[in-house]
């Protein structure tokens, strides 16, 4: 496990904060827990809803559980604010459970980075609601969201 520096580095500009947000979105849309966890410090601290995780192994376990139950997961993140080594993000994602019930989750994240561009604190607040499959808005093949797919603001979310 190698936690190599992850540009862009703080202090962030608007351009580099947007880039950091998109890189995070791309990573999460890979649904690869080991790959995603490498973007965080080895002692990274998370609060995700009412669940807490510290460090690589706990983050990998959390993400593995998440993507084993949140099927066909697709995520869009959008920059909300930034300052120095902190970024605020709003996001939405869609998925279905193993019974075929669809959901859209909305949330906000506060991120704090070290000098190497690795996230060492992540605080996520998330609300979720059931949707009909016909109400889905995130339509692209699993993986990275295509550059021409609308973002959250474009979709009215």
Domains defined along the chain, listed by start: 14-135 (3.10.450.50)
Residue 50's contacts (CB-CB under 8 Å, 6 or more residues apart) are none
Residue 74: pLDDT band (50, 70, 90) is very high
- Tell me the average pLDDT of the chain: 97
Bridge-based pairing state of the strands 71-83 and 40-48? unpaired
Answer yes or no: is pLDDT of 88 > 80.
yes
Q: Give me the mean pLDDT over the 44-70 stretch.
A: 96
- Averaged pLDDT, 10-33: 98
| Per-residue confidence (pLDDT) for residue 117, from 0 to 100 | 98
Q: Judge whether residue 95 has pLDDT over 90.
A: yes
pLDDT of residue 47: 95
pLDDT at 2 > cutoff 80:
no
Segment 136-143 shows an average pLDDT of 97
Tally Cβ neighbours within 10 Å of residue 115.
10
What is the pLDDT, as a whole number, of residue 3?
82
pLDDT surpassing 70 at residue 1: no
pLDDT (0 to 100) of residue 34: 96
Give the pLDDT score at 121. 98
Q: Is residue 98 predicted with pLDDT exceeding 80? A: yes
Which has the closest alpha carbon to 61: 76, 74, 48, 75? 48
Closest to 71 (Cα-Cα) out of 31, 113, 25: 31
């Amino acid at each position: 496990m190698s936690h190599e520096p992850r540009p862009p580095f703080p202090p962030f500009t608007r351009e580099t904060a947007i880039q950091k947000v998109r890189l995070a979105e791309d990573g999460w849309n890979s649904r690869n827990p080991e790959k995603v966890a490498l973007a965080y410090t080895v002692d990274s601290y998370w609060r995700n809803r009412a669940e807490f995780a510290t460090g690589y192994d706990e983050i990998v376990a959390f993400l593995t559980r998440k993507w084993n139950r949140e099927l066909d997961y697709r995520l869009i993140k959008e920059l909300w604010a930034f300052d120095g080594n902190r970024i605020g993000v709003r996001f939405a994602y869609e998925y279905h459970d193993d019974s075929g019930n669809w959901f859209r989750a909305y949330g906000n994240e506060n991120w704090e980075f070290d000098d190497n561009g690795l996230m060492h604190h992540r605080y996520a607040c998330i609300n979720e609601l059931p949707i009909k499959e016909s109400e889905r808005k995130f339509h692209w093949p699993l993986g990275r969201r295509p550059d021409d797919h609308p973002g959250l603001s474009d979709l009215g979310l």
